[in-house]
Amino acid sequence: MLVLLPPSETKRPGGSGAPLALDRLALPELGPVREKVTGALVALSDDEDRAARVLKLSPRQLGEVAANAALGAAPTMPAVDRYTGVLYDALDAVSLPAVARRWLGAHVLIHSAPWGPVGALDPIPSYRMGAGVTLPGLAPARRVWAEAVTAALRARAPRFTLDLRSEAYVALGPLPEDCPAVFVRVVSEGDDGAVRALNHFNKHAKGALVRQLATARPRVGSRDALLRWAEDSGLDLRPGAPGEVELRV
């Protein structure tokens, strides 16, 4: 099973790993696109005011421009440890035992804006760039990434994919049509019986789900197998719209 996660806007600073090596990231066929986007992001950082406008930064966030300027030399840490925020706090990968972290490394890709999907344990530096950013000199992000990411995911040929990304990142790398997969929606059923999508708890529930998967390490090769595992694990995961499952919390 392959699990796709969104990134987070917030990140841990620092790190103790060697500087970014694009040729060591998962899905190496994305290398040429990664080099182009990274180069454009670093070049943008030469002009702080312009970078702030393009990246939509407030005056208090201008330090993020310096982080982008240092992408080639900054220390790194595993991607799953770099990201913070609701989803990653619920996943809490740093507290997982080694065997669970190895499972994350083998099964989880995190869809970053500057490098596309990277492995959970791939070493990356801190950066600032969102899915909707169009870098000077490049086409809009969807045109830069979508075809290349779809091809790279097809080449990986996962037996089954659990897509937990936000819709903005799904647009940057649609799954191949012939890839068995489900998209997860987190919902809650109210007292009136109406089912509503969630926001904050959406991220928390997704992080907790991936933590449970990493801890249990089930063999899941289909939607039905996922639903059976969820039921056995006490999760309320149900079939949803075509191509989707609903995680009820």
pLDDT per position as a tens digit, 200-242: 688 999 999 999 999 999 999 999 999 999 999 999 999 999 9
DSSP state of 234: T
Predicted pLDDT at 235 = 96
Please choose, from the candidates 148, 122, 145, 149, the residue with its C-alpha nearest in 3D space to the C-alpha of residue 135: 145
Greater confidence, 229 or 191?
229
What is the span of the domain harbouring residue 191?
A: 2-248
Which tokens belong to 228? 């059976």
Render pLDDT for 54-74 as a digit per residue (tens, 0 to 9): 999 999 999 999 999 999 999
Q: Which residue has the tokens 């089930």?
A: 218
Number of compact structural domains in the chain: 1
The predicted structure's pLDDT at residue 189 = 75
Closest CA to 154 of 69, 52, 29: 29
Residue 201 is predicted with a pLDDT of 84
- DSSP class of 20: P
Residues 6+ apart with CB under 8 A from 39: none
- 181-189 and 244-248 as β-strands: parallel, antiparallel, unpaired? parallel
Nearest one of 207, 246, 190 to 223, comparing CA atoms: 246
Residue 195 has pLDDT above 70, yes or no: no
pLDDT bin (cut points 50, 70, 90) of residue 249 is: confident
What are residue 237's DSSP bridge partners?
247
Average pLDDT of the chain to the nearest whole number: 95
pTM of the full structure: 0.95
- 174, 243 Cβ separation under 8 angstroms: no
Instruction: State in Å, rounded, how far the first CA of the chain is from the last one.
Output: 23
Amino acid code (one letter) for 37: V
Tell me the mean pLDDT in the region 96-113: 98
Separation CA 54–CA 49 (nearest Å): 9
pLDDT surpassing 80 at residue 197:
no
